[in-house]
Amino acid sequence: QAWNDLRLVVAHDPVTAATKTRQRNERIDALTRQADQWTGKLTDQDEGVKHRGRKLSDSGAKARFYHAVSEAHLSRIIKVDLAEELFSYHIDDKAKRLAEMMDGKLLLVTNAEGLSAQNVIQRYKSLADIERGFKVLKSEIEIGPVYHRLPERIRAHASICFMALILHRVMRSRLKAADVGYTPERALEQLQRIQHHRVRLNGGEPVTGVSTLSTEQHEVLHALGIEKPAAPEQLALL
């Protein structure tokens, strides 16, 4: 598809589209149910009906509902009438249809003429994957900037970063395949709690041991295909 002398490539995933639409509708339904409860409470208060808890005001209901809508990233669809004296809102059906139309779609603009639409999508996903890798290095792996002068130190630093990223990818892949619900970061948090101890009592021979593993740590090790850490003499520590 031509667009401003460039190519416009659109990819559509119907499964992702259906999931996103369903999730959005669930959030909208939850918010509107809450708004209806507040509206009913405000009406009852006006009629003299008392409810348990603090009295609700129209301005307070507007502020709370507007905050909830903003937190759910639905302010383009659910419009809170802030200028009105009474608490009210409405659903922007046009904005809702537009959001549903964009669900599951990836739009790319390119000047590459020699690539098929499928290749354009693959190239973009590869680039996005590389960018995610840099983000992981800076955030989850927390590799800070180091200024090197000698070429061999630069290569060593780059190699360490690359190996750390590969290990992160392998962990993510294995955890996802095992369907244990852990991210690499959460898995590492669990594994970091495993301790190795060396104890000497009354001048006797030292005894070494590994702290007793929790259920979560067992799950992570099993998902990663790693044997349980052990010492020559196991000492269970509570």
Domain residue extents for the chain: 2-102, 112-179
Distance, CA of 195 to CA of 217 (rounded, Å): 12
Give the residue-averaged pLDDT of 24-47: 90
Share of the chain above pLDDT 90, in %: 31
Check residues 91 and 164 and name the one with the higher pLDDT: 91
Check residues 111 and 4 and name the one with the higher pLDDT: 111
Q: How far is CA 147 from CA 102, 140, 156, in A?
A: 44, 21, 12
Confidence (pLDDT) at 238: 39
Give the residue-averaged pLDDT of 107-115: 84
Confidence (pLDDT) at 92: 94
- pLDDT confidence bin for 235, thresholds 50/70/90: very low
C-alpha 25: how far from its chain's center?
Answer: 20
Task: Please tell me the least confidently modeled range out of 52-56, 97-101, 229-233.
Answer: 229-233
Expressed in angstroms, the distance from the first to the final Cα of the chain is 65
Residue 118 pLDDT > 50: yes
- pLDDT confidence bin for 3, thresholds 50/70/90: low
Distance, CA of 167 to CA of 164 (rounded, Å): 5
Distance, CA of 82 to CA of 234 (rounded, Å): 66
Q: What is the pLDDT of residues 123-158, one digit of tens each?
A: 887 777 777 777 777 776 667 677 888 889 888 888
Distance, CA of 154 to CA of 22 (rounded, Å): 49
Residue 66 pLDDT > 90: yes
- With beta carbons less than 8 A apart as the criterion, state whether 229 and 194 touch: yes
Tokens matching residue 73: 């990233």
Reported in sequence order, the residue ranges of the chain that DSSP labels E, i.e. its strands, are 2-3, 6-12, 78-80, 89-91, 105-110, 196-199, 207-210
Residue 23 pLDDT > 80: yes
Confidence (pLDDT) at 138: 73
- With beta carbons less than 8 A apart as the criterion, state whether 58 and 86 touch: yes
- pLDDT confidence bin for 28, thresholds 50/70/90: very high
User: What residues are paired with 108 via a beta bridge?
Assistant: 9
Tokens matching residue 175: 């955890």
Confidence (pLDDT) at 14: 92
- pLDDT confidence bin for 9, thresholds 50/70/90: confident
Confidence (pLDDT) at 234: 46
HEC sequence for 167-205: HHHHHHHHHHHHCCCCCHHHHHHHHCCCCEEEECCCCCC
**Helices 184-191 and 151-178, packing angle to 10 deg:** 100
In 3-state terms the chain splits into helix, strand, coil percentages (rounded to 5) of 55, 10, 35
65: three-class secondary structure by DSSP: helix
Residue 231 pLDDT > 70: no
Location of structure tokens 């416009």: 8
Give the residue-averaged pLDDT of 177-206: 87
Look at the pTM and tell me if it is higher than 0.75. no
Distance, CA of 61 to CA of 36 (rounded, Å): 11
Check residues 230 and 80 and name the one with the higher pLDDT: 80
Give the residue-averaged pLDDT of 166-187: 88
